[in-house]
Amino acid sequence: MNENDPQPDALAKVIITLLKGVVYQESDPKLWQHLLNLQTRVRDYVAVLGLALLLDEAEGYAWLRTAEPEEDTPPLPRLVGRRPLSYPVSLIIALLRRKLAESDAGGGDTRLILSRDDIVEMARTFLPSGSNEAKIIDKIDGHINKIVELGFIRRLSGQPNIFEIRRILKAFVDGQWLHEFDSRLKEYRSRLADQPTLSDGDDHAEPAS
């Protein structure tokens, strides 16, 4: 199949799925192949909507983001909204991104698998002391569920407490953001120290995308 083949429903399915969220090669290999074959048409179509296609063929994921407007051109209304993240959720995402970078630097398995206990232990380092531990862990479980909903981690089949860290985190949290990670952690520690527990409150932060 090539881009000139009559596939009227394939293009529509690809674009609709992208508008709903991230497309992963492993989740739908057939749709992924349509995306690869039709990517020029997809880019042209979404550009009309003020969007840009980000496709990483090596990592096997694709998503849409708001395109940067040309100079002296007013931006279009945002179709893909930004998702504000609470400090705890943003913190855990950043910690997972650093863990992914460490795994890549070590030349190990391309898949990073962590247990729920691993994630809880990473997050607890940045919690205020003296808090009720059971409540803290419950809160962290809620933040983990939020990160699953965002598509950055997924539970392994039949193992609800084992997670694969999805490599789209490399696109969501870029290299420059990660380079500044230590200073950002100091900010997180300062903000969280003022909270009685790790809560999904009203203060929001958003990693660079």
pLDDT in tens, 134-165: 888 888 899 999 999 888 899 999 999 999 99
- What CA–CA distance (Å, rounded) separates 146 from 133? 20
In a domain, 75, yes or no: no
Same domain for 33 and 103, yes or no, is no
In a domain, 90, yes or no: yes
Number of folded domains in the chain?
2
Q: At which residue do the structure tokens 């690869």 appear?
A: 36
Please tell me the predicted confidence (pLDDT) of residue 134. 80
Please tell me the predicted confidence (pLDDT) of residue 172. 78
What separation in angstroms does the CA of 196 have from each of 105, 131, 135, 185, 200?
A: 36, 7, 11, 18, 12
| Residues of the domain holding 16 | 8-66
Same domain for 121 and 168, yes or no, is yes
Reported confidence tier of residue 11, pLDDT bands at 50, 70, 90 = very high
Please tell me the predicted confidence (pLDDT) of residue 126. 73
- pTM confidence score: 0.66
If one compares 55 and 205, the residue with the highest pLDDT of the two is 55
Average pLDDT over residues 19-29: 89
Average pLDDT over residues 26-55: 93
The percentage of residues in the chain with a pLDDT greater than 70, rounded to a whole number, is: 70
Q: Kindly report the CATH number assigned to the domain that includes residue 119.
A: 1.10.10
Same domain for 89 and 161, yes or no, is yes
If one compares 197 and 187, the residue with the highest pLDDT of the two is 187
Average pLDDT over residues 56-76: 77
Same domain for 61 and 95, yes or no, is no
